[in-house]
């Protein structure tokens, strides 16, 4: 290497050395430390400025709470709710141990900290900025500040204000004042703000009477009031709140606030059933509860958000029709029950819903004896069987799917089936042989007659002919909740659960020519200062073919004209000349009885449910808990309570008074008003009285027959088949079947009908 090259190399090394030294001088530990200190000083300075700028505001959260106003469809006032359900109590009025349950649940270091959890707040700020949701780890002081001075918005600005105000409040106020403010402003669910209201709502006592177990539940509630309310909680919610309850008590032991031995003996106490707010007695409470639930579901808002007030909600309830429904239930049912003289009458619960099939609006609703006496609405409960009111759904599926019998004959209203009781269904991989009422055999009958008389064996076979999966699919399309139901023949007897609201929607869809009708309680809803909410469409798509829906309607007019609803409905005052379709139903062991019927412009479903009004021992020696399903038989001083009795009486009375101009059915079907039942050649015995069909309480275990019983099929026609064409079986014929003229046997009692028994002296 020459001298020139050496000098160039030396210069390059010098430059690298200078550059390296410069970097080291730029990033020395002193400079890094200084930068960090500078950032800290800037942060401290910014916080100091923030601390000076942000002042503790006047408490305003409670002052902004407003009432919620409910109106009838005509704009008249229905109810006013939403006033703050809160009564401030001093900390001295809350037992010391109960006070500590809240500290143990939310902030064990409360008595020693300075009002702020810096780690939790920092975590909350990071979560907010990154969009990961709500913060965790707030102290009791911070939660009180949020409840009383600020709001629940999840923003960086609000969280920083919460931090500053919490520090100042902790300096200015005692821990007792802060704890009192916290438990008095917190929301506990059930519309209760503050511990006093919560104590009344959940345990029916004042806060000063609470014990540790009860206090631990109320403290646990604050984490998720709606989810942890035992009355409405899911199984998972109940498990979570019990876990939280144990967590609170265990923390008290850890803090030496509760003796470990005493803790071991403590048991979770289930809160009482919710009670309505004052002013919501009678049917108003049920209507308000249904409207509120609809708005909360649509807007996806919590109880606390809704109870903040400012809502004006107009319901579809027609004030005059509502009054008529209440009068009808009173005149046709409650006035005939002797709840003092006959304890059985205390078990009778009524529910009803009336719907406009053209708009889907709920015109009237009866939920029970009133929220103060019965918290569950019988109009929307769906834990009782709809029984034979499900049979029109089976026929709708058959007609819509153009299904055929086992003999490859298309199912129509004229198709003949074997109505023999306990006849095994054919074509099912599961043995099923339902019993007709009184185990009565009918022989060969048309579908029309089977609907009129509600013959179980016919519709069990029809369900298999259609395919139970298709039957349930049709039920879902019409508006029934069939999620999770097994597609088995037993479902043909209406053994699933359903509500009057649900069944009114199903029949309204039939009345609306197969276009889906979803009953809607709310007409409009608007929160003050905001636009009206967007409600879901009550009228939906065509879910079954019009001719199928209209044909079912045609068949159901036969139930009124010549079937199980004839006495109560067709012969009712004011209805003799009206076009009416409907179906009766009575469930297994007579635990429910129904009539769901419609005119061209109004659909109403009425259900009676047997619910034990008090705990007792049954005739079989088994314990019956309060609220358990029990038979209605004997209620009203009579015998069996049938769909053609009290329910049909209520329906007829209400419809006659409330229907206005009923209009006429516009049916796209060649069945006419209904397939005319054949004229009987034999006069029924005057000693035999029709009885109601019921869902049998057992399923036959005999295998299916090897072949389908013979039957003839004709196209739908208003002209009845010739009596001589009707094959008969050994049992004597029913007058509405097509009897063999040569058979002179006495006509039997109607086993499948829903008409009242002769021993029910109160049925009309």
SS (H, E, C) 186-198: CECCCCEECHHHH
Residue 185's pLDDT is: 87
**224-246 mean pLDDT:** 93
Structure tokens, 540: 């939906």
CB atoms within 10 A of CB 426: 18
Helices (H) and strands (E) in the chain, counts: 22, 15
Annotate 440-456 with DSSP letters as a single string: ----EEEHHHHHHHT-H
Whether the CB-CB separation of 698 and 493 falls below 8 Å is answered with no
**83-94 mean pLDDT:** 86
SS (H, E, C) 562-610: HCCCHHHHHCCCCCCCCCCEEEEEECHHHCEEEEEEEECCEEEEEEEEE
Residue of higher predicted confidence among 168 and 749: 168
Residue 479's pLDDT is: 97
Task: Give buried/exposed letters for 721-750 (b at 16+ CB in 10 A, else e).
Answer: bebeebebeebbbbbbbbbbeeeeeebbbb
Q: Packing angle between helix 96-106 and helix 235-254, nearest 10 degrees?
A: 110
Q: What's the whole-number average pLDDT of the chain?
A: 82
Work out the pLDDT band at 280, boundaries 50, 70, 90.
confident
Work out the pLDDT band at 759, boundaries 50, 70, 90.
very low
| DSSP state for residue 53 in the 8-state scheme | H
Work out the pLDDT band at 31, boundaries 50, 70, 90.
low
DSSP, collapsed to helix, strand or coil, labels residue 77 as strand
Predicted confidence (pLDDT) at residue 292 exceeds the cutoff of 90: yes
CB atoms within 10 A of CB 283: 25
Work out the pLDDT band at 112, boundaries 50, 70, 90.
confident
Structure tokens, 652: 């007829």
Structure tokens, 73: 């469809």
Predicted confidence (pLDDT) at residue 688 exceeds the cutoff of 50: no
- Residue 71 pairs in a beta bridge with 77, 314
**28-54 mean pLDDT:** 56
Residue 714's pLDDT is: 34
| Residue 200: C-alpha distances to residues 205, 206, 220, 389, 624 (Å) | 5, 6, 16, 42, 28
- How far is it, in rounded angstroms, from Cα 405 to Cα 424? 15
pLDDT for 551-584, tens place per residue? 999 999 999 999 999 999 999 999 988 999 999 9
Strands 592-599 and 515-517: unpaired
Q: Packing angle between helix 500-511 and helix 546-562, nearest 10 degrees?
A: 110
- How far is it, in rounded angstroms, from Cα 356 to Cα 272? 37
Residue 157's pLDDT is: 66
**755-760 mean pLDDT:** 36
Residue whose C-alpha is closest to residue 729's, from 358, 507, 440, 337: 440
The reported pTM is 0.67
| Residue 656: C-alpha distances to residues 25, 576, 602 (Å) | 99, 10, 11
Residue 211's pLDDT is: 96
**267-277 mean pLDDT:** 87
Whether the CB-CB separation of 431 and 741 falls below 8 Å is answered with no
Predicted confidence (pLDDT) at residue 745 exceeds the cutoff of 50: no
Annotate 12-27 with DSSP letters as a single string: HHHHHHHHHHHHHHHT
Annotate 313-368 with DSSP letters as a single string: EEE---HHHHHHHHHHHHHHTGGG--TTT-GGGGGEEEEEEEE-TTT-BEEEEE-S
pLDDT for 613-670, tens place per residue? 999 998 889 999 999 999 999 999 889 999 999 999 999 999 999 998 888 999 998 7
Whether the CB-CB separation of 285 and 371 falls below 8 Å is answered with yes
Residue of higher predicted confidence among 41 and 530: 530
Q: Tell me how long the chain is.
A: 764
Annotate 179-238 with DSSP letters as a single string: HHHHHHH-B-STTBBSHHHHHHHHHSS-GGG--HHHHHHHHHHTT-HHHH-TTT--HHHH
Whether the CB-CB separation of 569 and 597 falls below 8 Å is answered with yes
| Residue 158: C-alpha distances to residues 99, 121, 153, 164, 224 (Å) | 28, 11, 7, 10, 22
């Amino acid at each position: 290497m020459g001298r020139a090259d050496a000098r160039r190399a030396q210069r390059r090394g010098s430059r690298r050395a200078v550059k390296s030294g410069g970097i080291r001088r730029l990033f020395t530990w002193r400079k890094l430390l200084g930068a960090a200190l500078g950032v800290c000083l800037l942060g401290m300075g910014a916080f100091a400025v923030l601390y000076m700028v942000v002042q503790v505001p006047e408490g305003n959260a409670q002052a902004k709470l407003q009432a919620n106003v409910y109106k009838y469809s005509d704009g008249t006032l229905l109810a006013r709710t939403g006033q703050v359900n809160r009564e401030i109590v001093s900390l001295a009025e809350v037992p010391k141990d109960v006070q500590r349950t809240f500290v143990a649940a939310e902030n064990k270091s409360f008595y020693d900290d300075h009002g702020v959890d810096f780690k939790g707040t920092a975590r909350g700020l990071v979560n907010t900025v990154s969009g990961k949701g709500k913060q965790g780890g707030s102290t009791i002081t911070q939660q009180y500040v949020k409840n009383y001075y600020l709001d629940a918005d999840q923003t960086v600005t609000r969280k920083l204000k919460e931090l500053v105000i919490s520090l100042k409040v902790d300096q200015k106020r005692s821990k007792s004042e802060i704890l009192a403010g916290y438990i008095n402003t917190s929301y506990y669910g059930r519309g209760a703000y503050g511990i006093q209201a919560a104590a009344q709502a959940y345990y029916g006592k004042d806060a000063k009477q609470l014990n540790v177990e009860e206090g631990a539940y109320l403290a646990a509630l604050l984490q998720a009031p709606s989810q942890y309310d035992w009355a409405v909680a899911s199984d998972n919610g109940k498990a979570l709140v019990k876990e939280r309850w144990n967590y609170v008590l265990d923390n008290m032991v850890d803090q030496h606030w509760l003796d470990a031995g005493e803790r071991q003996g403590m048991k979770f106490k289930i809160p009482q059933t919710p009670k309505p707010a004052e002013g919501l007695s009678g049917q108003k409470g049920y209507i308000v509860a249904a409207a509120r639930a609809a708005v909360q579901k649509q807007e996806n808002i919590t109880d606390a958000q809704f109870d903040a007030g400012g809502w004006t909600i107009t319901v579809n309830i027609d004030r005059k029709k509502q009054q008529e429904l209440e009068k009808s239930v009173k005149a046709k049912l409650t006035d005939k029950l002797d709840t003092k003289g006959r304890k059985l009458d205390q078990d009778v619960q009524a529910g009803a819903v009336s719907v406009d099939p053209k708009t889907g609006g709920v015109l009237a609703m009866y939920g029970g004896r009133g929220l103060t006496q019965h918290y569950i609405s019988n109009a929307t409960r769906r834990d009782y069987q709809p029984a034979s009111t499900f049979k029109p759904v089976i026929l709708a599926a058959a007609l819509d799917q153009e299904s055929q019998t086992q003999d490859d004959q298309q199912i129509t209203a004229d198709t003949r089936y074997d109505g023999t009781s306990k006849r095994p269904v054919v074509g099912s991989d599961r043995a099923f042989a339902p019993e007709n009422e009184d185990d009565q055999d009918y022989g060969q009958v048309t579908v029309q007659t089977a609907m009129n008389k509600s013959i179980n064996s016919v519709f069990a076979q029809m369900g298999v002919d259609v395919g139970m999966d298709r039957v349930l699919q049709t039920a879902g399309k019409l508006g029934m909740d069939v999620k999770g139901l097994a597609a088995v023949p037993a479902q043909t007897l209406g053994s699933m659960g359903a509500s009057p609201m649900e069944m009114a929607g199903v029949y309204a869809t039939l009345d609306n020519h197969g276009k889906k009708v979803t009953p809607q309680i709310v007409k409009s809803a608007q929160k003050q200062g905001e636009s009206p909410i967007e409600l879901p469409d009550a009228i939906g798509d065509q879910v079954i073919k019009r001719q199928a829906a209209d044909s079912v309607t045609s068949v159901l007019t036969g139930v009124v004209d010549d079937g199980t609803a004839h006495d109560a409905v067709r012969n009712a005052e004011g209805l003799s000349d009206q076009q009416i379709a409907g179906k009766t139903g009575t469930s297994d062991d007579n635990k429910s009885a129904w009539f769901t019927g419609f005119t061209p412009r109004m659909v109403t479903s009425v259900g009676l449910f047997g619910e034990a009004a008090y705990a007792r021992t049954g005739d079989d020696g088994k314990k019956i808990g309060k609220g358990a399903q029990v038979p209605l038989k004997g209620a009203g001083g009579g015998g069996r309570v049938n769909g053609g009795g009290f329910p049909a009486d209520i329906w007829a009375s209400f419809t006659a008074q409330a229907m206005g101009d009923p209009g006429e059915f516009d049916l796209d079907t060649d069945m006419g008003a209904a397939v005319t039942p054949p004229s009987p050649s034999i006069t029924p015995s005057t000693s035999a009285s029709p009885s109601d069909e019921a869902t049998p309480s057992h399923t036959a275990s005999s295998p299916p027959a090897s072949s389908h019983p013979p039957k003839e099929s004709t196209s739908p026609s208003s002209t009845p088949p010739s009596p001589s064409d009707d094959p008969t079986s050994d049992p004597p014929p029913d007058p509405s079947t097509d009897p063999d003229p040569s058979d002179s046997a006495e006509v039997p009692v109607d086993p499948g009908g829903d008409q009242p028994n002769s021993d029910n002296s109160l049925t009309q």
